[in-house]
């Protein structure tokens, strides 16, 4: 089972999901700016090399982040944290990944992507006997562009639009655009950022099932692409491949907004563990 988790990590870092590749391909076809085409062309070549040579497409293989939907009757629940940690260790050596876990006090690199609090594991208990795990390797350059804004209810969704557009413009080329933007609205300061990060697991091009939210996603995507930041911040038509919004009810006095920016390498993989130990992996 540890080997299966290693394979899912390998899939995530070496193969960019088809929905992301097709969005980048479309951006390349529509682009007329020569420098933007240089960058998008390089991205498409890098994706091909990752797939054919089974090497990480981006050298920043990120902080490994797992979202676990844990069926409370699964026989594997108790050992799962240890398995995810051991798989992270092995993946670092076998694939290889870049060792990205650094002690905050000494600056010492743990060399295997594990350490205090990492890999990051988010748990959600669900009924049943299956475990579903989403693997999200999250790069540092884009993560540095995350933001939390405690808007006032008076500003509301207008405030969301203003803040998102100002923020994406200010980030420029730093998060490796074209980005995928995860947005959380509601809940509280902690929960809104978790919602924003989870939003990145949805497929590029897939709209929110709530039509009102789907419309806001589309309007924001259009607004961001009108900014002209472009691939790598050097100008062009495509600044974002997609915008994903997840919401929760808010406190009457608060309007929390969380942004998690994902680079074009919107990497992910999923694992499902059956109660009999069978494992399925997909993107």
Task: Point out which residues bind other proteins (CB under 8 A).
Answer: 35, 38-39, 42-43, 45-46, 49-50, 53, 55-61, 96-100, 102, 107-109, 111, 139-141, 144, 172-174, 176, 231-235, 263-265
Query: Which two three-digit tokens encode residue 161?
Result: 């639009």
Minimum distance, C-beta of residue 137 to other proteins, in the bound complex (Å): 12
Instruction: Supply the minimum distance, in Å, between the C-beta of residue 183 and other proteins.
Output: 22
Minimum distance from CB of 246 to other proteins (Å)?
24
Could you tell me the smallest distance in angstroms from the CB atom of residue 93 to other proteins? 10
Helix and strand totals (H; E) in the chain: 8, 9
Q: Judged by CB, which is closer to other proteins: 70, or 263?
A: 263
Residue 66 has phi, psi (to 5 degrees) of -115, 130
Residue 69: burial class (beta carbons within 10 Å; 0-12, 13-18, 19+): middle
Closer to other proteins at the Cβ: 25 or 99? Answer: 99
Report the residue number, 110 or 254, with the smaller CB distance to other proteins: 110
Rounded CA-CA distance 214/182 in Å is 13
Least distance from other proteins to the Cβ atom of residue 173, Å: 4
Residue placing its CB nearer to other proteins in the complex, 139 or 184: 139
Q: Least CB distance from residue 230 to other proteins, whole Å?
A: 10
CB burial of 89-119 (b: ≥16 within 10 Å; e: otherwise) equals: bbbbeebebebbbeeeeeeeebebbbbeebb
Kindly tell me which of 21 and 160 has the beta carbon lying closer to other proteins.
21
CA 118 to chain centre: 16
Q: What is the rounded CA–CA span in Å between residue 139 and residue 237?
A: 24
Torsion of CA 161, 163, 166, 170, to 10 degrees: -140
Other C-beta atoms within 10 Å of 216: how many?
19
Tell me, rounded to whole angstroms, the distance of Cα 253 from its chain centroid. 30
CB closer to other proteins out of 6 and 43: 43
Beta strands in 155-278 (DSSP E): 179-187, 240-250, 255-262, 269-273
Strand-pair category, 240-250 with 179-187: parallel
Q: Which is nearer to other proteins, 12 or 133 (CB)?
A: 12
Smallest distance from the beta carbon of 171 to other proteins, in angstroms?
9
């Amino acid at each position: 089972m540890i080997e299966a988790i290693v394979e899912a990590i390998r899939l995530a870092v070496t193969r960019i999901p088809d929905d992301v590749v097709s969005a980048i391909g479309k951006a390349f076809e529509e682009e007329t700016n020569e420098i933007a085409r240089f960058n998008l062309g390089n991205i498409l070549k890098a994706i091909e090399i990752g797939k054919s040579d089974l090497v990480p497409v981006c050298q920043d293989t990120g902080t490994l982040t797992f979202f676990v939907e844990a069926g409370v009757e699964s026989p594997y629940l108790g050992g799962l944290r240890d398995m995810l940690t051991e798989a992270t260790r092995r993946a670092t050596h076998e694939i290889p990944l870049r060792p990205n876990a650094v002690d905050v006090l000494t600056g010492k690199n743990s060399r295997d992507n594990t350490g205090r609090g990492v890999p990051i594991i988010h748990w959600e208990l669900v009924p049943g006997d299956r475990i579903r795990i989403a693997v999200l390797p999250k790069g540092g350059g884009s993560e540095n562009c995350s933001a939390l804004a405690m808007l006032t209810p008076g500003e509301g969704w207008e405030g969301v639009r203003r803040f998102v557009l100002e923020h994406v413009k200010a980030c420029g080329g730093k998060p490796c655009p074209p980005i995928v933007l995860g947005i959380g609205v509601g809940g509280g300061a902690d929960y809104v950022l978790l919602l924003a990060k989870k939003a990145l697991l949805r497929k590029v091009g897939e709209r929110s099932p709530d039509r009102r939210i789907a419309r806001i996603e589309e309007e924001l995507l259009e607004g961001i692409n009108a900014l002209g930041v472009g691939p790598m911040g050097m100008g062009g038509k495509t600044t974002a491949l997609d915008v994903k919004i997840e919401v929760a009810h808010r406190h009457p006095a608060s309007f929390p907004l969380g942004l998690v920016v994902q680079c074009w390498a919107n990497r992910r993989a999923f694992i499902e563990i059956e109660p009999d130990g069978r494992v399925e992996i997909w993107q």
